[in-house]
Structures are given as structure tokens and as C-alpha cells.
Amino acid sequence: MSFTNLSRRRFMLGAGGAVLSGAFMFPAAALAAQTRKTNNQRSLAMSNIHTGESLKLTYFEDGEYIADSLNRYNHLLRDFRANESISMDYNVLDQVFLLSQLVGHKGTVNIISGYRSPKTNEQLRKNGKGVAKKSYHMKGQAIDVAFPGSSLASARKAAIAMGAGGVGYYPKSGFLHLDTGPTRNWG
């Protein structure tokens, strides 16, 4: 490969990154715009590793979120310890959907944690599990996920590039934390 081709390739990759990062200056609006461009139909195959339950549903179609599908995902993402659920922020599902597309993950997404009741959150904090006192999980605005067969490091990079909220990287435990809070990352 010639130096000219290598330089041109680096320029194009850099320009693409600049366009991508500029597209995510305002996280919620940009995520919505990106998912609209990506696909007018959004479906996810998800499996809760703690309960063994799985769903593969279309939750958005023809410009509308599908209430029944969202309710079924709320149940899947419930606090299994307390058997409580709340309405999850649908933007967190959009984050998982878009991230799956960005990393080319076609399989089932594993759910490590969705909603956590305040009681469960406090119990996990006391057990030294690295749980935030004011976790977005308690608001239904966070999800911990794994993409079996896909690179977790690549998923982390793509999630950070999305700029759509918080991204926690837990490579030893094999999952990413995604939330719809302020844009930040750790791990």
C-alpha cells in the first residue's frame, strides 16, 4: 500500500469519526435521529441471564413505540430479586439497538441488570459490588448488557462514540453499562 493511499485512508477514517462525534453533540436528540436513519423498525432479541427469560420483539415501527412490546421488555428488565418492574426509559433500548447495529451483533443481547429497586441497589452497595448510590438503574434509565460473540472492547468504543449517555466498561465481568444520563464513561 502506498503512503498516499494510507494517508487518504487515515483522513477518511478521521473525517468519519469527526462526523460521527459531531452528530452526537446533543445525546437524546442525536440518538433518536441516528436510530431513525438506521431503521424505521427496531427489534431486539434479549435474554435475562438471571431468570433465563428471553424476548425477541419489535418495539418500534412506523414512527411509533409499541406499548405492548415495551411492557414486555419492562418485565424482562425487572428487578428479579424483588420481582418489581417499572417503565424503562425507551431510549436505553434504542442505545442497545443502535450499539448492536454498530458492532454488527446479530444475536441475542444478554441482560445482566436492568431495573433495580432502591432496596436491591442498597443491598448490592453494601456487598461491595461497585454500585452507585444514586444509580440510574433505580430510575429505569440503565441497563448492563453483553453481546456474546462480539468484541466488548469494540462495543465500548462504539458506545462512547454514540455519546448518548453513560458507558461503563467491565471487561473482567464481561459487560457494558449503558444509561441515559449525562454523557460520560468509565472503566
Quick one: how many helices (H) and strands (E) in the chain? Answer: 6, 8
pLDDT greater at residue 178 or residue 24: 178
Rounded Cα distance between 7 and 24, Å, is 26
Q: What is the pLDDT of residues 26-44, one digit of tens each?
A: 444 455 555 555 568 999 9
- Those residues whose C-beta lies under 8 Å from the C-beta of residue 187, and which sit 6 or more positions away, are 156, 168, 169, 170, 171
Highest mean pLDDT among 22-26, 125-129, 142-146: 142-146
Q: Residue 122 and residue 152: Cα distance in Å, rounded?
A: 28
What average pLDDT does the segment 179-183 reach? Answer: 96
Q: Where are the domains of the chain?
A: 26-186
CATH of 26-186, one of 3.30.1380.10, 3.30.1540.10, 3.30.70.660, 1.10.1740.10: 3.30.1380.10
Average pLDDT taken over every residue of the chain: 84
Q: Tell me what pLDDT residue 129 has.
A: 66
pLDDT tens profile 11-28: 333 434 433 433 333 444
Question: What is the average pLDDT across 51-76?
Answer: 96
pLDDT reading at 143 higher than 70: yes
